[in-house]
Amino acid sequence: MTDARQSALLAILRRAPVVPVLTIEDPHTAVPLAQALVAGGLSALEITLRTDGALDAMEAIARHVPDAIVGAGTVLSASQVKEATSAGARFLVSPGCTEALSAAAAQGSAPLLPGASTASEAMRLAEMGHHVMKFFPAEPAGGVAFLKALGAPLPHLLFCPTGGVDAEKAKAYLALPNVVCVGGSWIAPAAAVKAGDWATIARLSRAAAALRG
């Protein structure tokens, strides 16, 4: 990944301390959900490609919520890179990474946040030009203690921990110098989304946006 792409990715991730990780079942909820998150101060949104309506949800947010920066999560293949960017994704997130996926993302317009859970994986991604990466699954893979230990031998790498992170755990991650932000789904509880309780989601977003003052 080029320095320009790394800079673009960092600019997105540094907009707020938390990137909401959203699995949207009903595309009709996408716009009001995004509006509530943005109103609370979280503008970089990761829409996971785990549902049939994910691409429609991304397209709707990109079209109707101009202050949102749409990202695609769970990107696993070159075809998904193309589909996601065509739907308006401005950044891509993967649970891991292969050379084929990295190469496909490099040909597109959206920078890739690839996943790593070991020192060797992080070193390999750095060799491929990725110096900003997702730490996934954060809690099962060693949590705060692992990332703190990794910071000494690999001080040039930055991470977005995701997986098992909640509002309380986020504070400890965000205190680490090698953590640029965290990813989590607690900001948009499924029950609140289903009920259309956008006020609750906006409140949770405000609290998340204030985690790193």
DSSP 71-130: EEES--SHHHHHHHHHTT-SEEE-SS--HHHHHHHHTSSS-EE-EE-SHHHHHHHHHTT-
Contact 73, 185 (CB under 8 A): no
Per the residue annotation, which of 59, 134, 139, 169 is the catalytic one? Answer: 134
How many CA atoms does the CB half-sphere of 16 hold within 13 Å?
A: 23
Please return the burial class of 107, using the count of CB atoms within 10 Å of its CB with bins 0-12, 13-18 and 19+. exposed
Catalytic-residue membership of 46: yes
CA separation for the pair 22, 184 (Å, rounded): 8
Q: Is the peptide bond before 17 cis (omega within 30 degrees of 0)?
A: no
Q: For the chain, what is the total number of helices (H) and then of strands (E)? A: 10, 9
Per the residue annotation, which of 46, 59, 139, 169 is the catalytic one? Answer: 46
CB atoms within 10 A of CB 26: 13
CA dihedral 118, 114, 130, 84 (to 10 degrees): 170
Catalytic-residue membership of 171: no
Catalytic residues: 46, 134
